[in-house]
Amino acid sequence: MKHLFLILVFLSSAVMFAQDGASIKGNVLDLEANNMPLEMARVFIKETGGKTTSDQEGNFTLKGLNPGTYTLSLSFVGYETKTIEVNVVANRTTQVKESLGANTLSLDDLMLTFASSDKNETPSTIATNN
């Protein structure tokens, strides 16, 4: 009887320690390339500061999270940054699949950039017509 009790205690403690919290697994895709995997996309959790990058297949994993709602920011150079909310459940893996599209620069943004660069010029750098 004593051995049976020890075995049950050992097995139940092993199961409890095997649960390492919740996790988020996801896939980041390239909207511009027919949803091909986007390698090296940045994934950032606003609430914890945790971050990772996607692998060759666009996959990423964030482990050891507490249950709750997290704000994920997905970004890649030259692409739009996408922010999504993810609800994480205890001892479960939450799946995420998102596509990022190319970032566009509006004509207003371009004009604002040119206008601010004009204001920063000094008289010695402005060409004169003599």
Higher pLDDT, 129 or 56: 56
126 within a domain of the structure (yes/no): no
Alpha-carbon gap, residue 107 to 99, rounded angstroms: 25
How many CA atoms are closer than 13 Å to the CA of 41, on its beta-carbon side? 32
What local confidence, expressed as pLDDT, does residue 17 receive?
Answer: 46
Residue 80 sits in a domain whose CATH number is 2.60.40.1120
- 17 contacts 10 by C-beta, under 8 angstroms: no
pLDDT-based confidence at 127, cuts 50/70/90?
very low
6 within a domain of the structure (yes/no): no
85 within a domain of the structure (yes/no): yes
Q: How many CB atoms lie within 10 A of CB 98?
A: 17
Q: Angle at the Cα of 19 (from 16 to 24), degrees rounded to 5?
A: 165
What local confidence, expressed as pLDDT, does residue 95 receive?
Answer: 97
Is the pTM of the predicted complex or chain greater than 0.75? no
- 19 contacts 89 by C-beta, under 8 angstroms: no
7 within a domain of the structure (yes/no): no
List, for residues 88-121, the tens digit of each pLDDT value. Answer: 999 999 999 999 999 876 666 666 666 665 555 4
Per the structure block, which two tokens stand in for 125? Answer: 């750098």
Which structural domain, as residue segments, surrounds residue 100? Answer: 17-120
List, for residues 12-69, the tens digit of each pLDDT value. Answer: 444 444 455 899 999 999 999 999 999 999 999 999 999 999 999 999 999 999 999 9
50 within a domain of the structure (yes/no): yes
What local confidence, expressed as pLDDT, does residue 103 receive?
Answer: 87
The number of domains in the chain is 1
What local confidence, expressed as pLDDT, does residue 107 receive?
Answer: 66
57 within a domain of the structure (yes/no): yes
